[in-house]
């Protein structure tokens, strides 16, 4: 491959790896990178002859199974039919708590974000919730969130079948241990160091003596991202799709148009 | 004689609890401009389940006293500037929810029951700030252990408004697969709908259209408003006007910019 892997492509392939083995993945609105990662996971499952992966991408017509209005996503999750989902967060803390509401004293505060959306429900329901936030800074990765939209863990006796599975940021990939509770740094994206991540993280996390680098996509996977995934993404995220490089043509000659 | 949008807007009065749809569900933007022009206030908005430009405009224009929502944002155009400013200044009373709780409240209204239980929410600050919600121990739990569960009271809006592709002369409205529009209509006695066009025939006469039709039984009044969701899109009809959404997002960052945008926009809507 002549052109090097981009930071976005590292995130997309990381998401696809986290989704391996799932059967139905839902992606919320305004989530181009999770949507791309989920589409890649679907494409890889096909090429590797694994069980079919279904996607429900909110805001898409072509990649969406719902016909019962906006309540169906939540009903579907409650029925145990969604294996993985993505949550972001204006703040994410070391216990996996997510804040989508704002900074400072509620309700006025100093910063107001849109609101909790479905997080206060879906975090309890979906087994593999991937926390995804590209910005990895001390203002996002905080010791304790100012407002709990959705808690990372629940007290004993609280009904819960879902929760955080991983935290993926622009700097690295963390796993989540609900028993501590806390995050464990698994891999560092190319160009990042443990020192750099520690300085950017407001909460304590565990890590190995030497943390491996996030593996880049192989040539075939990269070609999928720059070809099929780019095309599939165009319907819902035309601007983002345009930023993914076009797959190199198989030969210097263009295919004749039919 | 009053214009059709004015006729619908006149049915929304100060102090009413008003249900409005999600940005991609069919937002009656033309009707919203008419409601703003009517100069009412003290509305209690119920976003089903989130709000966008419509809600931001109504808050900026001073129509809203209370807002019950899972989120308000302008989507790809960013945060909702008038909403954010009003919350920080304490100018609107905030009832933060989560999407399935709003759906549960409407479902309770649809069933005519006082509440519907939902999972999740326990130990969140969403629940902690909603004194109208309550937690009970599941009375049907299998064993003797505690199983706390949240009850969401029925949401009974005074009116619901939305925009759809078409209606027929009998008052039936085609809502396709956007079933939350039906849930909104079931929850209230006053459902006001704008449509792109009138359907020449009976939507209930053909099984193909009847399946996606909200019957006239639940519809109070209908008015035609071509491109009535603009600058938002309407499913199956047209995409949102992204440039205009960004223009609004930019303008609404300051009170002056918002006022200037609304002065030009309300005139455009009324023309």
% of residues, chain B, pLDDT over 90: 92
% of residues, chain B, pLDDT over 70: 96
C-beta of residue B20 within 8 angstroms of C-beta of residue B67: no
pLDDT, tens digit, 9 for 90 and up, residues A97-146: 999 999 999 999 999 999 999 999 999 999 999 999 999 999 999 999 99
Q: What is the pLDDT of residue A255?
A: 40
A chain contacts of residue B135, beta-carbon cutoff 8 Å: none
pLDDT, tens digit, 9 for 90 and up, residues B106-120: 999 999 999 999 999
Rounded to the nearest integer, the mean pLDDT of chain B is 95
* Least Cα separation, residue A145 to chain B (angstroms): 11
Q: What is the pLDDT of residue A249?
A: 45
Q: Which two tokens stand for residue B128?
A: 């902690």
C-beta of residue B122 within 8 angstroms of C-beta of residue B116: no
Rounded average pLDDT over A188-194: 97
pLDDT, tens digit, 9 for 90 and up, residues B215-226: 999 999 999 999
Q: What is the pLDDT of residue B265?
A: 63
From the list B73, B103, B127, which residue is nearest A74 (CB)?
B103
Contacts of A204 (CB under 8 A, 6+ apart): A94, A182
pLDDT band of residue A2 (cuts 50, 70, 90) is: low
Q: Indicate yes or no: CB of A121 within 8 angstroms of CB of B101.
A: yes
B192 pLDDT more than 90: yes
What does B220-255 look like in DSSP terms, one character per residue? -EEEE-TTTTTTS-BTTTB---HHHHHHHHHHTTSH
**Domain-wise residue ranges, chain A:** 7-88+115-135+154-243
A chain contacts of residue B96, beta-carbon cutoff 8 Å: 101, 107, 115-116
* Least Cα separation, residue A136 to chain B (angstroms): 19
* Least Cα separation, residue B232 to chain A (angstroms): 13
Q: How many CB pairs under 8 A join A and B?
A: 149
Number of H helices, E strands in chain A: 8, 13
B chain contacts of residue A150, beta-carbon cutoff 8 Å: 120, 124
C-beta of residue B20 within 8 angstroms of C-beta of residue B44: no
**Domain-wise residue ranges, chain B:** 4-97+156-270, 115-153
Return the CATH number of the domain spanning residue range B4-97+156-270. Answer: 3.40.1080.10
A257 pLDDT more than 80: no
Pairing of strands B115-118, B148-153: antiparallel
Fold of A7-88+115-135+154-243: Glutaconate Coenzyme A-transferase (3.40.1080)
Burial label, A70 (beta-carbon count in 10 A; 0-12, 13-18, 19+): buried
Q: Indicate yes or no: CB of B126 within 8 angstroms of CB of A108.
A: no
CA A245 to chain CA mean position, Å? 21
A253 pLDDT more than 70: no
Q: Indicate yes or no: CB of A67 within 8 angstroms of CB of B177.
A: yes
Cis, peptide link before residue A181, omega less than 30° from 0: yes
Best of A26, A57, A70, A105 to substitute, by most chain B Cβ atoms within 10 angstroms, is: A70
Q: What is the pLDDT of residue A256?
A: 40
From the list B98, B121, B179, which residue is nearest A69 (CB)?
B179
pLDDT, tens digit, 9 for 90 and up, residues A49-81: 899 999 999 878 788 888 888 899 999 999 999
Q: Indicate yes or no: CB of B177 within 8 angstroms of CB of A66.
A: yes
A251 pLDDT more than 60: no
pLDDT band of residue B235 (cuts 50, 70, 90) is: very high
Q: What is the pLDDT of residue A59?
A: 75
Query: Number of C-alpha atoms within 13 angstroms, CB side, residue B177?
Result: 13
A chain contacts of residue B208, beta-carbon cutoff 8 Å: none
Cα angle for residues B161, B164, B166 (degrees, 5° grid): 130
Rounded average pLDDT over B41-58: 98
Q: What is the pLDDT of residue B166?
A: 98
Q: Among B60, B37, A185, which residue's Cα sits nearest to residue B45?
A: B60
A175 pLDDT more than 70: yes
């Amino acid at each position: 491959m002549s052109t090097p892997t981009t930071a976005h492509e590292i995130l997309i392939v990381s998401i696809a790896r986290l989704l391996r083995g799932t059967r139905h993945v839902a992606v919320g609105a305004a989530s181009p990178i999770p949507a791309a990662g989920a589409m890649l996971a679907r494409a890889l499952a096909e090429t590797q002859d694994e069980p079919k992966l279904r996607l429900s991408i909110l805001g898409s017509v072509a990649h969406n199974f719902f016909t019962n209005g906006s309540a169906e996503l939540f009903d579907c999750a409650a029925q145990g039919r969604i294996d993985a989902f993505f949550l972001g967060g204006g703040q994410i803390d070391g216990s996996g708590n997510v804040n989508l509401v704002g900074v400072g004293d509620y309700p006025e505060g100093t910063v107001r974000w849109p609101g909790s959306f479905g997080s206060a429900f879906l975090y309890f329901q979906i087994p593999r919730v991937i926390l995804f936030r590209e910005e990895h800074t001390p203002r996002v990765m905080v010791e304790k969130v100012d407002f709990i939209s959705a808690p990372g863990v629940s007290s004993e006796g609280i009904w819960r079948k879902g929760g955080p599975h991983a935290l993926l940021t622009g700097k690295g990939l963390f796993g989540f241990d609900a028993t501590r509770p806390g995050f464990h740094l698994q891999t560092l994206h190319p160009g990042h160091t443990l020192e750099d991540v520690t300085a950017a993280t407001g909460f304590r996390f565990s890590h190995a003596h030497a943390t491996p680098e996030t593996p880049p996509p192989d040539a075939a996977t990269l070609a999928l991202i720059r070809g099929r995934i780019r095309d599939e993404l165009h319907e819902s995220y035309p601007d983002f799709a345009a930023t993914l490089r076009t797959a190199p043509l198989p030969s210097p000659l263009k295919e004749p148009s039919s | 004689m009053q214009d059709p949008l004015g006729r619908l807007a006149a049915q929304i009065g100060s102090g009413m609890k008003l249900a409005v749809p999600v940005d991609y569900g069919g937002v009656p933007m033309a009707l919203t401009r008419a409601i703003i022009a009517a100069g009412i206030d003290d509305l209690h908005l119920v976003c089903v389940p989130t709000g966008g430009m419509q809600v931001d405009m109504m808050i900026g224009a001073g129509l809203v006293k209370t807002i019950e929502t899972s989120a308000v944002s302008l989507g790809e155009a960013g945060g909702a500037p008038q909403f954010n400013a009003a919350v920080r200044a304490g100018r609107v009373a905030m009832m933060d929810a989560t999407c399935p709780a709003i759906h549960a409240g409407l479902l309770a209204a649809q069933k005519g029951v006082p509440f519907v239980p939902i999972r999740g929410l326990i130990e969140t600050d969403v629940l902690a700030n909603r004194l109208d919600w309550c937690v009970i121990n599941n009375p049907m739990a299998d064993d003797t252990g505690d199983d706390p569960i949240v009850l969401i009271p029925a949401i009974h809006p005074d009116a619901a408004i939305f925009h759809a592709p078409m209606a027929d002369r009998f008052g039936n409205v085609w809502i396709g697969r956007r079933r939350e529009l039906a849930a909104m209509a079931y929850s209230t006695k006053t459902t006001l709908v704008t449509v792109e066009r009138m359907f020449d025939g009976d939507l209930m006469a053909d099984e193909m259209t009847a399946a996606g039709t909200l019957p006239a039984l639940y519809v109070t009044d209908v008015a035609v408003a071509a491109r009535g969701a603009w600058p938002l899109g309407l499913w199956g009809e047209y995409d949102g006007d992204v440039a205009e959404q960004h223009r609004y997002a930019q303008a609404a960052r300051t009170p002056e910019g918002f006022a200037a945008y609304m002065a030009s926009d309300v005139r455009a809507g009324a023309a």
